[in-house]
């Protein structure tokens, strides 16, 4: 069996770098979305590392699967960060997520910073368990 978890983790790290670039250039909606993507890839990497296959895009649900099937205790604050990032998966990209305007009208530097911080925390948790 080919172990691809490190590929997923490395791509998640690149996604997080891209989120920081988007923040720097004022693409706050993309910084939010890419933070969610970085976290998703890190969580999937951890699941693969533990021999699990998980599908979907909900970070909270993936963490629940890791906890249940991987017998891995997930800190409550990590689940809260996952909920925050889950809310950024669709509306950051599509204008019909809002009554008017487009996503760039709604996301702020503060939102982007919060998303990046959440992704850094989730990434650090996953990396620590993969490399530890």
d(CA 110, CA 119): 14
Residues in the chain predicted with pLDDT less than 50, given as ranges, are none
Q: Where are the domains of the chain?
A: 5-131
Burial grade of 92 (CB within 10 A; 0-12, 13-18, 19 or more) = buried
- pLDDT value at position 42? 98
Q: Three-class SS string for 18-33?
A: HHHHHHHCCCHHHHHH
Q: What is the pLDDT of residue 3?
A: 80
Question: For the chain, what is the total number of helices (H) and then of strands (E)?
Answer: 5, 0
Q: How far apart are alpha carbons 20 and 14 in whole angstroms? A: 10
Q: What is the pLDDT of residue 2?
A: 63
Q: What pLDDT digit, counting tens, does each position of 38-62 carry? A: 999 999 999 999 999 899 999 999 9
What CATH architecture is 5-131?
A: Up-down Bundle (1.20)
């Amino acid at each position: 069996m080919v172990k691809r978890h490190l590929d997923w983790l490395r791509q998640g790290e690149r996604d997080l770098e891209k989120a920081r670039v988007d923040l720097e250039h004022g693409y706050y909606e993309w910084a939010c979305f890419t933070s969610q993507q970085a976290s998703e890839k890190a969580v999937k990497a951890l699941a693969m590392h533990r021999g699990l296959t998980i599908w979907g895009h909900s970070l909270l649900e993936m963490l629940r699967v890791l906890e249940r099937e991987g017998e891995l205790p997930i800190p409550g604050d990590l689940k809260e960060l996952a909920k925050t990032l889950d809310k950024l998966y669709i509306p950051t990209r599509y204008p019909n997520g809002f009554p008017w305007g487009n996503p760039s009208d709604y996301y702020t530097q503060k939102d982007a910073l919060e998303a990046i911080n959440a992704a850094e925390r989730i990434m650090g948790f996953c990396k620590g368990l993969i490399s530890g």
